[in-house]
Amino acid sequence: MTILLDFEEPIKALETKILELKTLDSGSNMNITSEITKLEAKCQAQLVSIYSNLTPWQKVQIARHPERPQFLDYIKELVTDFTPLSGDRVFGEDPAIIGGLGVFRGIPCMIMGHQKGTDMESRKHHSFGMAKPEGYRKAVRLMDLADRFSLPIITLVDTAGAYPGIEAEERGQAEAIARSIQKCLEVSVPFISVIIGEGGSGGAIALAVANKVFMLENSVYSVISPEGCASILWKSRNNAKEAATALKLSAQDLFDLKIIDAIIKEPLGGAHRSKISTISFVGDEIEKNLRTLMKQNGETLLKTRREKFYQMGSL
Amino acid sequence: MNWITNFVRPKIKAFMGKTDIPENLWHKCPSCEQMLFAKDLEENLHICRHCGHHKRLSGKQRLETLLDKGSVSRFSLPKVPLDPLKFKDSKKYIDRLKDAKQKTGGEDALIIAEGKINELPVIVAIFDFDFMGGSMGPAVGEGFIFAARLAKQRKTPFICVSSSGGARMQEGILSLMQMARTTAAICELKEENIPYIVLLADPTTGGVSASLAMLGDIAISEPRAEICFTGARVIQETIRGTLPEGFQRAEYLLDHGMIDLIVSRHELKNEISKILRILFHK
């Protein structure tokens, strides 16, 4: 059973009942079978009603769902011959950002993204997807490599933000992020970014200054976390819900503000309920756009990428 | 009650006219707590005579102290949509904006101008920390891009003085995008070999330090200026440990290889013009 979020409570009773009946039923009892079918339909209807009216804060919760597909799930489904490349050649290796060479649906490319981890041990290993300077410097190195060998770049963004700690500051977190943004704006290859979960501030945009930027339906992308915003402007983290609404961080908001190019639909009940189809939807959107971008020359790609960002939010 | 209070004082007052006593005649140095005479402080470029503490400057004060007298001509910031998010917390964002405009007399948290530093023409973009903490939203971003492009067009060195709490929350994702937009303008300068010098003034933090402020060809700071990505308070809350002495101060960044030099405000103009002369083989 999937981990339920607080607003999904109404389906909890139904799901438990279905499970109960399923263990009772050996398949021969028609009454039970029809009861299960009924309950499942009810459950489905309930999901539809919950998921068609999500508040921004609920989307934040879905975007952070521990069972939401992560970078490595996408690699497994979409990329063959994945060859992870490690290290920034300056200080170290940061597993919060994974990147490497691979073949995406027949297209050789450079693909990278944040990995949050799936259990306590791996979360610690990937430092919850919060990258340190060496992570961004590795990204710069890989983007450079991609540029030299004319490989398209795909980034999958899923981070609460850059790592907030002494060692990160000591090694120049601000500079590392700035250089990563700069590198995004200097490469002459097709560049596609997808916000697959959380797009947390500078730590996210460092990998997302691309020709095309997409968001999964229930992902969020924001200048600051709702909690951070609430604690500064409302003086209390308890106002995160209000902050989430005020920040306009949903995919629909960003599409309306012309920040992203398209929204990628999630299956009913969110990406965490149907990982494989979510991943293939993302793959389809990337492939379609990548094949179009690959027809353009490097100069055009670079120019239009910059122009796209210059256009944002201006009159 | 005698004739002096009843008669002489009012006479003298009437004779002298209304006395205007400025409110901020004296300043207490936040570092050594010595009392400083305001006029004195101003003449000394807002540096404490006792301990050398560099007081944070407003955008206007920075403009006046950095550029040669009489050389300055300001540009107004390009227009951007007003309050695109209709943001409201305990107060409406448009009201906060109004207050900030009234308080500072500025258009937004950036001043852009052309002028000279020791006779050398420059374009400057100066953050005004007094305007909503120098936060960067679309107006600041647009102003920065305008100034950078002007520098590129005229082949004039571009100087940015950053002093900012980071991206402006009230304009949400549009503020975050300024990190990319301003960086694109810097890329253009680099490709044309136009010098881009950043003075990371107190404080330079968050989205501003993680974009335009850390991309200077030359990075200068002033003594004890705070420079960071994540603020000390947030780090403290996260790690629940003690922070090193002098953490995130200019000296700390210099030690860790993140900036080129720390310059006293007295020497700033000379240092910048010296660098520019060498870069231009003059």
Residue finishing a domain among B38, B55, B72: B55
Measured between alpha carbons, how far is B267 from B282 in angstroms, rounded to an integer?
20
Chain A hits for B167, Cβ within 8 Å: 201, 223-224
CA angle, A84 as apex, A188 and A169 as ends, to 5°? 80
Judged on CB neighbours under 10 Å (0-12, 13-18, 19+), A86 is middle
Q: Which CATH number do you get for residue B108? A: 3.90.226.10
In a shared domain, residues B196 and B73: yes
Could you tell me how many CB contacts below 8 A there are between chain A and chain B? 167
The nearest CA of chain B is from the CA of A286 a distance in Å of 22
Measured between alpha carbons, how far is A252 from A56 in angstroms, rounded to an integer?
10
Measured between alpha carbons, how far is B59 from A274 in angstroms, rounded to an integer?
53
Look at residue B19 in the predicted model and tell me its pLDDT. Answer: 55
- Tell me which residue has tokens 């939807």: A281
Chain A hits for B183, Cβ within 8 Å: 178, 181-182, 185, 209
In a shared domain, residues B64 and B194: yes
B213-242 per-position pLDDT tens digit: 999 999 999 999 999 999 998 898 888 888
CA angle, A295 as apex, A289 and A301 as ends, to 5°? 80
Pairwise CB contact (< 8 Å): A174 & B175: no
CA angle, A267 as apex, A265 and A268 as ends, to 5°? 120
Q: Which of B90, B177, B207 sits opposite A313 (nearest CB)?
A: B177
- Asked whether B114 and B123 are in contact (CB, 8 A), the reply is yes
The nearest CA of chain B is from the CA of A300 a distance in Å of 15
Identify the closest residue of chain B to A254 by CA–CA distance: B173
Residue finishing a domain among B22, B39, B55: B55
What is the CB-side half-sphere exposure of residue B87 using CA atoms within 13 A? 27
Test mutation, A128, A223, A312, chain B, max B CBs within 10 A: A223
3-class secondary structure for chain B? Answer: CCHHHHHHHHHHHHHHCCCCCCCCCEEECCCCCCEEEHHHHHHCCCECCCCCCECCCCHHHHHHHHCCCCCCEEECCCCCCCCCCCCECCCEHHHHHHHHHHHHCCCCCEEEEEEEECCEEEEEEEECCCCHHHCECHHHHHHHHHHHHHHHHHCCCEEEEEEECCECHHHHHHHHHHHHHHHHHHHHHHHCCCCEEEEEEEEECHHHHCCHHHHCCEEEECCCCEECCCCHHHHHHHHCCCCCCCCCEHHHHHHCCCCCEECCHHHHHHHHHHHHHHHCCC
What is the CB-side half-sphere exposure of residue A20 using CA atoms within 13 A? 8
Look at residue B114 in the predicted model and tell me its pLDDT. Answer: 98
Nearest CA-CA partner of B85 in A195, A200, A257: A257
Pull the structure tokens for residue B199: 């003075």
In a shared domain, residues B120 and B223: yes
**Which residues lie below 8 Å from residue A145, measured CB to CB, with a gap of 6+?**
A85, A110, A151
Nearest CA-CA partner of A98 in A21, A155, A59: A155
> CB of B179 within 8 Å of any CB in chain A?
yes
Look at residue B25 in the predicted model and tell me its pLDDT. Answer: 86
Q: Which of B180, B230, B248 sits opposite A185 (nearest CB)?
A: B180
Look at residue B171 in the predicted model and tell me its pLDDT. Answer: 96
Residue B115 domain boundaries: 56-279
CA angle, A71 as apex, A145 and A65 as ends, to 5°? 150
Residue finishing a domain among B33, B55, B77: B55
pTM of the full structure: 0.93
**Which residues lie below 8 Å from residue B235, measured CB to CB, with a gap of 6+?**
A164, A165, A166, A169, B243
- Asked whether B259 and B200 are in contact (CB, 8 A), the reply is yes
For residue A10, the one-letter residue type is: P
Give, for all 315 residues of chain A, the pLDDT tens digit.
678 899 988 888 888 888 888 887 666 677 788 888 888 898 889 899 999 999 999 999 999 999 999 999 999 999 999 999 999 999 999 999 999 999 999 999 999 999 999 999 999 999 999 999 999 999 999 999 999 999 999 999 999 999 999 999 999 999 999 999 999 999 999 999 999 999 999 999 999 999 999 999 999 999 999 999 999 999 889 999 999 999 999 999 999 999 999 999 999 999 999 999 999 999 999 999 999 999 999 999 999 999 999 999 876
Q: Which residues make beta-bridge pairs with A212?
A: A192
The nearest CA of chain B is from the CA of A106 a distance in Å of 31
CA angle, B29 as apex, B66 and A232 as ends, to 5°? 80
Neighbours of B44 (CB within 10 A): 15
Measured between alpha carbons, how far is A185 from A179 in angstroms, rounded to an integer?
10
Look at residue B18 in the predicted model and tell me its pLDDT. Answer: 57
Q: How many domains does chain B have?
A: 2
Measured between alpha carbons, how far is B1 from A145 in angstroms, rounded to an integer?
90
For residue B277, the one-letter residue type is: R
Pairwise CB contact (< 8 Å): A202 & B176: yes
Q: Mind giving me the DSSP string for A89-115?
A: SSS---TTEEEEEEEETTEEEEEEEE-
Pairing of strands A220-222, A191-200: parallel
The sign of the torsion formed by the CA atoms of A45, A48, A53, A59 equals: positive
Q: Is the pLDDT of residue B1 over 70?
A: no
Test mutation, A130, A169, A310, chain B, max B CBs within 10 A: A169
B71-109 per-position pLDDT tens digit: 999 999 999 999 999 999 889 999 999 999 999 999 999
- Asked whether A164 and B230 are in contact (CB, 8 A), the reply is yes
Measured between alpha carbons, how far is A123 from A64 in angstroms, rounded to an integer?
13
Indicate the class that CATH gives domain A60-310.
Answer: alpha beta
Residue A222, classed as helix, strand or coil, is strand
Identify the closest residue of chain A to B83 by CA–CA distance: A313
Pairwise CB contact (< 8 Å): B173 & A166: no
Q: What are phi and psi of B274, to 5 degrees?
A: -60, -45
Identify the closest residue of chain A to B79 by CA–CA distance: A315
Measured between alpha carbons, how far is A162 from B245 in angstroms, rounded to an integer?
23
Chain-centre distance for alpha carbon B41 = 18
Task: Please name the helix (run of DSSP H) or strand (run of DSSP E) that holds residue A124, with its range, or none.
Answer: helix A120-125
In a shared domain, residues B137 and B271: yes
Q: How confident is the model at residue B17 (pLDDT cuts 50, 70, 90)?
A: low
